[in-house]
Structures are given as structure tokens and as C-alpha cells.
Amino acid sequence: MTLPPGVSSPKPNQVCKLMKSLYGLKQASRKWFEKLTSILLQHHFIQAPSDHSLFIKKTASSFTLLVVYVDDIILVGDSLTEFDHIKSILHNSFKIKNLGQLKYFSGLEVAHSKLGISLCHRKYCLDLLSDSGSINFKPVSTPSDPSIKLHHDSSLPYDDIPSYRRLVGILLYLNTTRPDITFITQQISQFLSKPTQTHHQAALRVLRYLNRCPAKGLHFPRSSSLHLQGIYDADWAGCIDTRRSINGQCFFLGDSLISWRTKKQLTVSRSSSEAKYRVLASATCELQWLIYLLRDLHVTCSKLPVLFCDNQSAFHIAVNPVFHERTKHLDIDCHIVREKLHDGILKLLLVSSKEQLTDFFTKPLLPQPFGLLLSKLGLIEIYQPPPCGGLLHNKSEEENLESKQHSLD
């Protein structure tokens, strides 16, 4: 590196040979993570194979987890003395700032209460709304318009492409606590190269929806069982341009929603059962990963993990080892699901279409079913006053709400 301005060298023609990384270098983040990993491994942490940014230390008396997000670290464990030990180790190697109890983690606001824990992105969301100048937009009740199906249309192209891309990027990050905008984000992010006015209008509608409930977020109840359940569905030929289907899947641990996804399938499916079967395969992979992760965390599930769907034929393809005329080409997908079923690591169950939660992730909904599914997924807004002035709530829930707000203050 050339000499920085302000540094004088005794001889001319001298340069700095870098021994440590500096901000701005391409490999800076990687080198930092390597260094942190080596130090943690020296102190008897184990890097979890299912997620390499998760470090686990299990001794006879204590159990400690470390989740690393660049320079932010979450410490989870049952022993405070072990916490102090780790903090002193890290403080001697680097310099750390102890932020105490987990409250604000890379934009994620964590509110604790007696009955549950709640995650939201309220500040991030409000910043987005005020920066984009949409704080005074009229609120709407759903993020997407059910009468419009987005595709490569022939309306006027939207000129300010960078701002559209920036908005989509922000919405993608918001997805970490907002499953309600997952579907529409997947939809509008398909048109990053050539957005039109219609797509921009759809993106603005999401902002109007966020304006209605900026603090909506996930709620994890404390009294939750350790039972993994997944629900999957597909909107057959949901993409007008390519006629590919749209996957929707979500996973619960007990009553807490922990993982969800909306994704367009990579190939065209000839029938709806075929489309659903493909989702089943991808849901199986995700479920398998979650099982591995739980095993790394030394957590045993109380029951066998279950996958739900409303499609009978996809269920039968998976259960019966027969190749039908129409399923000859489903080779790889078939094998992975059947293998896992045969190993007995998961169970498939049918569910009626009325109780199908994944409509949320595969199609735009009307306000009434949208609100219903929202409450089923455990999305609440802790800043909102309770309905009917709180008369319908019992006392414990009121206390719950108050303590949450206290913890945020």
C-alpha cells in the first residue's frame, strides 16, 4: 500500500507492507471471520456443521451457543459464569462492547416478556418509510392486489431502476421478520432488470401496507413444544410468463414460525400434483436441514417431524413406490422424498384445503383471509392497543403487553 497521507518515511520509494487487514480490502471480512473462528476453536468451541456461523460449547455443567453476524455476536446459554469467561477471552483478543441482554441485533428488535418473545423491525421499517417519503401514504390492509398478477407487461418502463432495486433489497431484508410480505417481494424481485410502472405501483403498495403496521413481527410463545411441522403448497403455473409453479413452504417449531420461503420452481410442471411433489422435495430438504441443526444444538424433538399438504396425489406418489405414466420424469425428486420417508425421519399427513396456511406464500389474498392467516402464523403488532380497549383480553395478556413495552423502553 502507498504511504497514507500524514505518514512520513525516512527513505524515498517506500511503501507499507500490510500485515493485518484494513477496512476497504476485499478479503477483510473473510480474514476477520477466520481469525474469530480460530480463537473460538482454541477455546473448545465446536463449529456446527449445519451452520458454520454457529459455535457450540458443551461441558458437564454448562451449554453455550455463539451466533456470529459479522461483528455482532449473540451469546446464548444457561450459565452466566461461562458468559463472563467467554467475554473476557474475546475482550483479551479483540476489544468488545458488552451490550447486555439481547435487545437490538442488526436492525432486529427483540422484546422479552413473561409469556413470549417478539421480534420486529419497527425502526428499520419506519426509517424505510420516511426515507422513501411514503410515511403519509394511505394505509392498505394487504400488501398485494389480488386482482393484479404481475408479469412482464407492456406498460411504460419505470425510469429510476436503481431506486426500484434498492427498495426491493430493503424489502428482502425485512423478510426476516415479515412473512406477510414474502410473496409480494418474490413477485416484484423478478423484474429487477426492466421494471415497469405496474411493478413500481406494486412496490409502492407494499410500502402503503407497511405504513399500516410497521411494528408487526413474529411472536414466539414460551409454552411451546419441540415439535417440527412443515406445510407446503404450490401455485401451479403461477408465473404467467414462463408457466412455472410457485413454491410456498413454512416450518414451525411448536407454535413458533421459524422458516418460510416463496420461490419460483426451476422447471415447468405438467400437472398440479407434479408441482406439489416438487415442493415436497424442497420442503424435505429444508426439514432435513432443520433436523440437522436441532441435532447440532443437542435438542431432541418430542415427536416425529411432520409435513402437511392438501394434495392427495402428491401424497400417494411419495408413499407408494410405483411409477405412474405421468410421473416417469420425476426421478430425482421422487427418490429423495421416498428415501427420507423410508428412513423414518419424517411423516407426511394430509390437511384439508381450508386449513392450508401456505396460500399466504403462493398467491395474493383478499383482506379477510389474509388477516385470518396472519393471526395463525403468529404475527402480532405489540405496539397496537388491544382490540375493544382491552376488554376482551384477560389480565395475564395485559400484563404480557405491558412488560413487553417496558422491555422495549
Partner 1 sequence: MFGCLCYASSLQVHITKLHPRARKPIFLGYKSGYKGFTLLDIHSRDIFINRHVIFHEHILPYPSNPDSITSQWEYFSSPPTTSHSPLSDVDHIPPSIIDDPIFESSLPNNDTSSPILHVPTRQSTRTSNTPAYLQDYVCNNIHASLYPITNYVSHNKLSDQHSCFVLSLHSNPDPKSFTEANKFDCWNQAMQAELSALESTGTWKLVDIPEHVKPIGCKWIYRVKYPADGSIERYKARLVAKGYNQIEGLDFFDTFSLVAKMTTVRLVLVLAFIHHWHLHQLNVNNAFLHGDL
Which of positions 69-108 make contact with partner 1 (CB under 8 A)?
69-78, 80, 83, 87, 90, 93-105, 108
35 part of the interface to partner 1, by CB under 8 A:
yes
Q: Residue 274: phi, psi to the nearest 5? A: -65, -45
Q: Give whichever of 39 and 341 is closer to partner 1, judged by the CB atom.
A: 39
Give the one residue of 53, 190, 201, 272 binding partner 1; rule: CB under 8 A.
53
How many CA atoms within 13 Å lie on the side-chain side of 258?
20
For residue 86, CA distances in Å to 61, 92, 182, 375 come to 15, 10, 37, 39
Site for partner 1 in 282-341 (CB under 8 A): 290, 293-294, 297, 299
* Rounded Cα gap, residues 34 and 31, in angstroms: 5
Stretch that binds partner 1, among 21-29, 155-163, 320-328, 359-367 (CB under 8 A): 21-29
Tell me how far, at minimum, the Cβ of 129 lies from partner 1, in Å. Answer: 9
Q: What SS3 state is found at 293?
A: helix
Binding mask 149-178 for partner 1 (x = CB under 8 A): ---------------------------x--
User: What angle do the packed helices 272-296 and 331-343 form, to 10 degrees?
Assistant: 40
Q: How many residues bind partner 1 (CB under 8 A)?
A: 91
Tell me how far, at minimum, the Cβ of 364 lies from partner 1, in Å. Answer: 24
Give the one residue of 41, 226, 366, 372 binding partner 1; rule: CB under 8 A.
226
Tell me how far, at minimum, the Cβ of 85 lies from partner 1, in Å. Answer: 12
Q: Give whichever of 2 and 193 is closer to partner 1, judged by the CB atom.
A: 2
Site for partner 1 in 194-213 (CB under 8 A): none
Torsion over CA of 186, 192, 197 and 203, rounded to 10 degrees?
40
Q: Give whichever of 36 and 239 is closer to partner 1, judged by the CB atom.
A: 36
Q: Residue 296: phi, psi to the nearest 5? A: -60, -30
Q: Residue 370: phi, psi to the nearest 5? A: -60, -45
68 part of the interface to partner 1, by CB under 8 A:
yes
Q: Give whichever of 110 and 161 is closer to partner 1, judged by the CB atom.
A: 110
Tell me how far, at minimum, the Cβ of 116 lies from partner 1, in Å. Answer: 7
Tell me how far, at minimum, the Cβ of 96 lies from partner 1, in Å. Answer: 5
* Rounded Cα gap, residues 407 and 409, in angstroms: 6
Q: What SS3 state is found at 407?
A: helix
Tell me how far, at minimum, the Cβ of 365 lies from partner 1, in Å. Answer: 24
How large is the C-alpha radius of gyration of the chain?
Answer: 25
140 part of the interface to partner 1, by CB under 8 A:
no
Q: Beta strand pairing status for 228-235 and 306-309?
A: parallel
354 part of the interface to partner 1, by CB under 8 A:
no
**Which has the closest alpha carbon to 109: 97, 93, 125, 86?**
125
Tell me how far, at minimum, the Cβ of 217 lies from partner 1, in Å. Answer: 11
46 part of the interface to partner 1, by CB under 8 A:
no
Other CB atoms within 10 Å distance of the CB of residue 107: 16
Site for partner 1 in 119-138 (CB under 8 A): 119, 135-136
Site for partner 1 in 261-280 (CB under 8 A): none
Chain position carrying cell 410500502: 207
The burial class, CB within 10 Å (0-12 / 13-18 / 19+), for 224 is middle
**Which has the closest alpha carbon to 214: 111, 280, 83, 121?**
121
Q: Give whichever of 105 and 313 is closer to partner 1, judged by the CB atom.
A: 105
Give the one residue of 116, 179, 217, 238 binding partner 1; rule: CB under 8 A.
116
67 part of the interface to partner 1, by CB under 8 A:
yes
222 part of the interface to partner 1, by CB under 8 A:
yes
* Rounded Cα gap, residues 218 and 174, in angstroms: 12
